[in-house]
C-alpha cells in the first residue's frame, strides 16, 4: 500500500512552503528514516525523513509551492502505482550478459570522489569520522546516515551506547523516542523537551525568531509525536529513555530547555546527572504545585476536529489571534492517529489524575547547583503563575506580561535571548 509523504510544518505560522531539493531520485529505493528531501527557509534547512521503506515516487517538484499537509510524494512497494496513468515503480533489475548471467557492477578505480548525503556528511563531521572506506548503502553507493551511524557505533559502542533496538537510528520508531536535529551548527548543545500533547515541531516557533547559538536537538517524549505510545510509570522512567536517546546521539552534556510537562522531565533529568546538564531553562514548568486546569487537559485530549480544537488551543495563548489555520490543521492531523489520542489520555490519567499534578520538581530544583531560570507567562490559564512563588533562591524568574502558557511561541525573540544567555552561563559554569 502506498504511504503518503506529507509536507510538514516548518514554522507554526507558515501555511505554505517548497521543497529545496529532493535527496532521493524518483524511483529510488529508500529505508524508513532516510533523509528524503530538504526544506529551506530563511532560518534553517530541515531534512524530512522517509516515513516507510520502499520506492520513492515524487508528486511535487523541488521549488514548487505546496500547502502544509499536502502530499508531495509516496513510498511504494515494488511494482505499485498511485493511480491510473502513473508509472509503476519497478523492482530493481540487473542487466544480463550474453550468457544470461547477471552483469556485475563496474567499479571505477580512478574515481575517489565521496558520494554521501548532506546528513551523512554532517554526522561524520560532528564525530570526526572519515568517510573514505565507508561502504554506502544508498543508490549508486551513496553513503547514508545509517552507514555513518553504523561506523560510529563500532567505534563508540564500548563507551556509551546501549544496544536498545529503538536507538539504532534517528527517525520514527515504534518502541522508543524520536529525535530531530533542528539545527546542527554550533559548538554548544541545546536539548529541547516539549510539553504535554505537543511534539518536537513546537520548537520551530522559537526558531522563527532566529537561531540559538548552539546545535539543537528536539525529542518527542513517550506518548507523543513519532515516539513510542507506551506510557512510562514516572518521571524517572521517562528520563531513562531520554538519557539513552541522548547517548545514542553522542550527547554527554547539554543545556536543557523544557516546556510544561517537558520542563518537569528536564528538571528530573538534570538531577539524575547521567547526562550532564550545563544549565537549565524551564518554560511554564509543570511540577511546581498541585493545581492544573482540569477542564483544559480533558477537553484538549478529547478534541479531534478543528472546530473543537480551536477553543482549547486559544486558551494556551494570551492573544487568540496567534493560533493560525496551519497550527490548527497540524494538530487536527495528529489527532487522526487513534494510538496517539489513546496515549495522551493515558498520560493525562497518570500524571494529571483528578485535575492534580501528581509529581513535584521542587525537591529537584532545591538540589541542583547549576544555572537555572524559569520563564512564565503571567496570564497563563493552564498552570497558575502563583506556582512561581517561593522558588528556590538559586532559580531566576522571567515573568512575561501579556503572555499565556506558550512564551517561546508568543514572545520568541525574548525567549531566544534567554536561551542564548543560558547557553553562555552553561559554558562558563563547566
Query: What is the per-residue pLDDT for 87?
Result: 40
Domain count, the chain: 3
Q: Does 62 share its domain with 127?
A: no
Beta-ladder partners of 54:
30
Domain membership of residue 409 (yes or no) is yes
Question: How far are the Cα atoms of 94, 95, 140 from residue 105, in angstroms, in the given order?
Answer: 9, 10, 10
Q: Does 231 share its domain with 126?
A: no
**Dist CA 103 CA 95 (whole Å):** 6
Question: How far are the Cα atoms of 14, 61, 307 from residue 11, in angstroms, in the given order?
Answer: 5, 21, 21
Domain membership of residue 373 (yes or no) is yes
Which of residues 156, 181, 205 is at a domain's end?
156
Which of residues 48, 76, 104 is at a domain's end?
76
Quick check: 407 and 400 in contact, CB under 8 A?
Answer: yes
Q: Does 69 share its domain with 132?
A: no
Domain membership of residue 205 (yes or no) is yes
CATH number of the domain within which 139 lies:
4.10.320.10
Q: Does 249 share its domain with 152?
A: no
Q: Does 208 share its domain with 123?
A: no
Query: What is the per-residue pLDDT for 150?
Result: 67
| Cβ neighbours of residue 133 closer than 8 Å, sequence gap 6 or more | none
Which of residues 156, 185, 210 is at a domain's end?
156
Q: Does 378 share its domain with 276?
A: yes
Question: How far are the Cα atoms of 55, 189, 206, 283, 407 from residue 371, in angstroms, in the given order?
Answer: 48, 15, 21, 14, 20
Nearest to 282 by CA among 197, 209, 370: 370
Q: Does 265 share its domain with 213?
A: yes
- What is the CA angle 254-179-186, rounded to 5? 40
Question: How far are the Cα atoms of 24, 107, 160 from residue 28, in angstroms, in the given order?
Answer: 6, 20, 34
Look up the domain containing 359 and give its range. 165-429
Domain membership of residue 292 (yes or no) is yes
Q: Does 232 share its domain with 141?
A: no
Phi-psi region of 162 (alpha: psi -120 to 50; beta: other; left: phi over 0): beta
Quick check: 115 and 140 in contact, CB under 8 A?
Answer: yes
CATH number of the domain within which 68 lies:
2.40.50.100
The tens digit of pLDDT for each residue in 309-349 reads: 999 999 999 999 999 888 899 899 999 999 999 999 999 99
Domain membership of residue 8 (yes or no) is yes
Beta-ladder partners of 200:
none
Quick check: 254 and 191 in contact, CB under 8 A?
Answer: yes
**pLDDT tens string for the chain (430 positions)?**
678 888 887 665 566 788 888 999 898 998 887 888 888 654 445 778 888 888 999 988 888 888 877 889 999 987 676 654 444 343 343 333 434 444 444 444 333 456 666 566 656 665 667 777 788 876 567 777 667 776 654 444 333 333 232 222 344 444 589 999 999 889 999 999 999 999 999 998 898 888 899 999 999 999 999 999 999 999 999 999 999 999 999 999 999 999 999 999 999 999 999 999 999 999 999 999 999 999 999 999 999 999 999 999 999 999 999 998 888 998 999 999 999 999 999 999 999 999 999 999 999 999 999 999 999 999 999 999 999 999 999 999 999 999 999 999 999 999 999 999 999 999 987 7
Q: Does 300 share its domain with 234?
A: yes
Q: Does 195 share its domain with 293?
A: yes
Domain membership of residue 361 (yes or no) is yes
Domain membership of residue 199 (yes or no) is yes
End-to-end CA distance of the chain: give it in Å, rounded.
52
Q: Does 250 share its domain with 393?
A: yes
**Dist CA 77 CA 29 (whole Å):** 10
Read off the pTM: 0.65
**Dist CA 190 CA 160 (whole Å):** 19
Q: Does 72 share its domain with 139?
A: no
Domain membership of residue 231 (yes or no) is yes
CATH number of the domain within which 373 lies:
3.40.50.1820
Amino acid at each position: 500500500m502506498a504511504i503518503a509523504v506529507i509536507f510538514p510544518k516548518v514554522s507554526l505560522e507558515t501555511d505554505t512552503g517548497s521543497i529545496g531539493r529532493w535527496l532521493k531520485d524518483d524511483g529510488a529505493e529508500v529505508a524508513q528514516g532516510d533523509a528524503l528531501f530538504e526544506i529551506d527557509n530563511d532560518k534553517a534547512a530541515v531534512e524530512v525523513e522517509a516515513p516507510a521503506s520502499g520506492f520513492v515516487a515524487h508528486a511535487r517538484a523541488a521549488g514548487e509551492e505546496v500547502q502544509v499537509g499536502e502530499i508531495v510524494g509516496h513510498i511504494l512497494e515494488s511494482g505499485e502505482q498511485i493511480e491510473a496513468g502513473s508509472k509503476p515503480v519497478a523492482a530493481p533489475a540487473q542487466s544480463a550478459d550474453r550468457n544470461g548471467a547477471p552483469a556485475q557492477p563496474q567499479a571505477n578505480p580512478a574515481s575517489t570522489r565521496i558520494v554521501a548525503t548532506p546528513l551523512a556528511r554532517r554526522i561524520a563531521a560532528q564525530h570526526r569520522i572519515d568517510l573514505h572506506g565507508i561502504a554506502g548503502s544508498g543508490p549508486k553507493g551513496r553513503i547514508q546516515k545509517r552507514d555513518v551511524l553504523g561506523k560510529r557505533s563500532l567505534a563508540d559502542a564500548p563507551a556509551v551506547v546501549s544496544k536498545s533496538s529503538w536507538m539504532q537510528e534517528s527517525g520514527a520508531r515504534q518502541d522508543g523516542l524520536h529525535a530531530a536535529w533542528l539545527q546542527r551548527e554550533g559548538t554548544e548543545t541545546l536539548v529541547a523537551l516539549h510539553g504535554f500533547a505537543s511534539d518536537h515541531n513546537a520548537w520551530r516557533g522559537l526558531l522563527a525568531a532566529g537561531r540559538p547559538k548552539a546545535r539543537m536537538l528536539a525529542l518527542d517524549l513517550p506518548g507523543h509525536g513519532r515516539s513510542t505510545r507506551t506510557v512510562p510509570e514516572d518521571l524517572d522512567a521517562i528520563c531513562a529513555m531520554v538519557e539513552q536517546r541522548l547517548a545514542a546521539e553522542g550527547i554527554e552534556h547539554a543545556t536543557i530547555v523544557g516546556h510544561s510537562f517537558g520542563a518537569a522531565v528536564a528538571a528530573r533529568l538534570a538531577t539524575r546527572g547521567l547526562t550532564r546538564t550545563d544549565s537549565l531553562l524551564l518554560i511554564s514548568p509543570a511540577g511546581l504545585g498541585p493545581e492544573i486546569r482540569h477542564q483544559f487537559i480533558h477537553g484538549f485530549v478529547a478534541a479531534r476536529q478543528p472546530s473543537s480544537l480551536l477553543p482549547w488551543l486559544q486558551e494556551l495563548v494570551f492573544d487568540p489571534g496567534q493560533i493560525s489555520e496551519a497550527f490548527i490543521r497540524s494538530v487536527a492531523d495528529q489527532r487522526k492517529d487513534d494510538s496517539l489520542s489513546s496515549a495522551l489520555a493515558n498520560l493525562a490519567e497518570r500524571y494529571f489524575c483528578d485535575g492534580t499534578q501528581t509529581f513535584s520538581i521542587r525537591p529537584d530544583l532545591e538540589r541542583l547547583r547549576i544555572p537555572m531560570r524559569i520563564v512564565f507567562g503571567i496570564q497563563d490559564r493552564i498552570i497558575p503563575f502563583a506556582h512561581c512563588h517561593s522558588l528556590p533562591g538559586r532559580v531566576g524568574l522571567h515573568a512575561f506580561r501579556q503572555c499565556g502558557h506558550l512564551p517561546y511561541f508568543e514572545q520568541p525573540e525574548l525567549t531566544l535571548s534567554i536561551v542564548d544567555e543560558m547557553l553562555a552561563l552553561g559554558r562558563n559554569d563547566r
